[in-house]
């Protein structure tokens, strides 16, 4: 005995037209022959799903099916020449069903699906149409690159498995890429079945932290150690940057935490203005002070009686 059409679509008899259509779309996408090219059971299942929707998706046919069961075709409600139609108003008249709706509409994989469906469900005159090429699957990879590579750009190598083979390919990391961004390698994914276009490789990029530098958007921040003499009297110091070593002027009487801004020495993306570098001065004391040095500092402290913590409040 034929399977109940409601059971074929996995819906109760009380389902609305929208619920039936939603169930049909989900099953049609799952068992679509071009996504299961070597699975004969999937092909048969797809035809059963389509036949069930041809009836339950049509208001008049569904009414007759509910009343007479599978014998409704003898009551004049059978398929009309295999035409596929979306349920419409009274009498079942409706517009042609757009199968691209099932597969995302207008995407690369949606072209020619009506021909593909007719191939497996029997179009007008019983002729079988050739299916349109289907795009291959995308491959997904995760890579972690050094902080320097993310700022300056560079290259990474990937081991990619396509089918039964593994090969090494290179990918370019654009200068200024941010953590979590994706790189797309078009046409490097799985080949399409039946000669269809290949999918892409999507690379999710993660960035290792730097020992000294921190990134904030296009800006870079770095803590720069200076001596007690440089802090008190000022001076010239060398500071490394992604674009080469620069000479930085330390103003006299600089305290730890003072930030100096160096324009254009931050991240330089492929397009747009570069960021800035912020150097935060940190006074670095010697690991040990002899008695003479300690006495000199004591004498210096006597010259400035104001507490540096006088403005510190809760």
pLDDT band for position 130 (cuts 50, 70, 90): low
| pLDDT at residue number 210 | 96
Instruction: Give yes or no for residue 167 having a pLDDT over 60.
Output: yes
Question: What residues make up the domain containing 143?
Answer: 139-207
**Could you say which of 207, 242, 263 is where a domain stops?**
207
Query: Do residues 117 and 9 both lie within one domain?
Result: yes
Tens-place pLDDT, residues 182-200: 999 999 888 888 788 989 9
Is residue 281 within 8 Å of 258, Cβ to Cβ? yes
Which residue from 59, 62, 121 is spatially nearest to 94, judged by alpha carbons? 59
> Is 218 inside a domain boundary?
yes
- Between residues 189 and 94, which one has the greater pLDDT? 189
What percent of the chain shows pLDDT beyond 70? 80
**Could you say which of 126, 155, 171 is where a domain stops?**
126
Is residue 206 within 8 Å of 213, Cβ to Cβ? no
Query: Do residues 233 and 274 both lie within one domain?
Result: yes
How many angstroms separate the most distant Cα atoms in the chain?
114
Query: Do residues 119 and 20 both lie within one domain?
Result: yes
| pLDDT at residue number 83 | 39
* Cα 249 to chain centroid, rounded: 44
> pLDDT averaged over the chain?
81
**Domain count within the chain:** 3
| pLDDT at residue number 40 | 85
| pLDDT at residue number 213 | 97
Among the residue ranges 26-35, 86-95, 132-141, 148-157, the one predicted with the least confidence is: 86-95
- Between residues 84 and 304, which one has the greater pLDDT? 304
Tens-place pLDDT, residues 99-126: 444 444 444 444 445 444 444 444 444 4
| pLDDT at residue number 104 | 46
pLDDT band for position 212 (cuts 50, 70, 90): very high
> Is 311 inside a domain boundary?
no
Average pLDDT over residues 12-35: 85
> Is 134 inside a domain boundary?
no
Domain CATH for 193: 2.60.260.20
pLDDT band for position 284 (cuts 50, 70, 90): very high
Query: Do residues 89 and 150 both lie within one domain?
Result: no
Instruction: Give yes or no for residue 23 having a pLDDT over 80.
Output: yes
> Is 133 inside a domain boundary?
no
> Is 285 inside a domain boundary?
yes
Map tokens 């699957």 to a residue.
Answer: 137
Query: Do residues 55 and 108 both lie within one domain?
Result: yes
Written in H, E and C, the secondary structure of the chain is CCCCHHHHHCCCCCCCHHHHHHHHHHHHHHHCHHHCCCCHHHHHHHHHHHHHHHHHCCHHHHHHHHHHHHHHHHHCCCCCCCCCECCCCHHHCCCECCHHHCCCCCCCCCCCHHHHHHHHHCCHHHCCCCCCCCCCCCEEEEEEECHHHHHHCEEEEEEEEECCEEEEEEEEECCCCCCCCEEEECCCCCCCHHHCCCCCEEEEEEECCCCCEEEECCEEEEEEEECHHHHHHCEEEEECCCCCCEEEEECCCCCCCCEEEECCCCCCCCCCCCCCEEEEEEECCCCCCCHHHHHHHHHHHHHCCCCCCCCCCC
Domain CATH for 113: 1.10.287.110
Map tokens 């290179």 to a residue.
Answer: 170
pLDDT band for position 264 (cuts 50, 70, 90): very high
| pLDDT at residue number 279 | 97
Query: Do residues 156 and 233 both lie within one domain?
Result: no
> Is 313 inside a domain boundary?
no
**Could you say which of 207, 231, 264 is where a domain stops?**
207
pLDDT band for position 11 (cuts 50, 70, 90): very high
Instruction: Give yes or no for residue 82 having a pLDDT over 50.
Output: no
> Is 314 inside a domain boundary?
no
């Amino acid at each position: 005995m034929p399977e109940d059409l409601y059971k074929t679509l996995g819906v109760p008899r009380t389902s609305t037209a929208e619920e039936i259509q939603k169930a049909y779309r989900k099953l049609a996408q799952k068992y679509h022959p071009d996504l299961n090219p070597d699975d004969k059971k999937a092909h048969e299942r797809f035809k059963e799903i389509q036949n069930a929707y041809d009836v339950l998706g049509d208001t008049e046919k569904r009414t007759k099916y509910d009343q007479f069961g599978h014998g409704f075709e003898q009551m004049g409600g059978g398929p009309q020449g295999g035409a596929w139609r979306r349920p419409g108003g009274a009498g079942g008249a409706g517009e042609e069903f757009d199968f691209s709706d099932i597969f995302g509409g207008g995407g690369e994989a949606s072209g020619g699906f009506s021909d593909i469906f007719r191939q497996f469900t029997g179009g007008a005159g019983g002729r079988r149409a050739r299916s349109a090429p289907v795009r291959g699957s995308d491959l997904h990879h995760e890579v972690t690159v050094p902080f320097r590579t993310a700022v300056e750009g560079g290259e990474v190598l990937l081991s990619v498995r396509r089918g039964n083979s593994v090969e090494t390919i290179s990918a370019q990391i654009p200068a200024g890429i941010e953590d979590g961004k994706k790189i797309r390698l078009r046409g490097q994914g799985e080949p399409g079945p039946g000669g269809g276009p290949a999918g892409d490789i999507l690379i999710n990029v993660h960035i290792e932290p730097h020992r000294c530098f921190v990134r904030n958007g296009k800006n870079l921040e770095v803590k720069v150690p200076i001596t007690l003499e440089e802090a008190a009297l000022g001076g010239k110091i060398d500071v490394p940057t992604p674009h080469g070593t620069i000479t930085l002027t330390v103003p006299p009487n600089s305290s730890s935490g003072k930030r100096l801004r160096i324009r254009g020495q931050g991240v330089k993306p492929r397009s747009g203005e570069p960021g800035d570098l912020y150097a935060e001065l940190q006074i670095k004391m010697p690991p040990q002070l002899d008695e003479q040095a300690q006495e000199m500092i004591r004498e210096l402290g006597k010259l400035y009686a104001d507490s540096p913590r006088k403005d510190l409040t809760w």
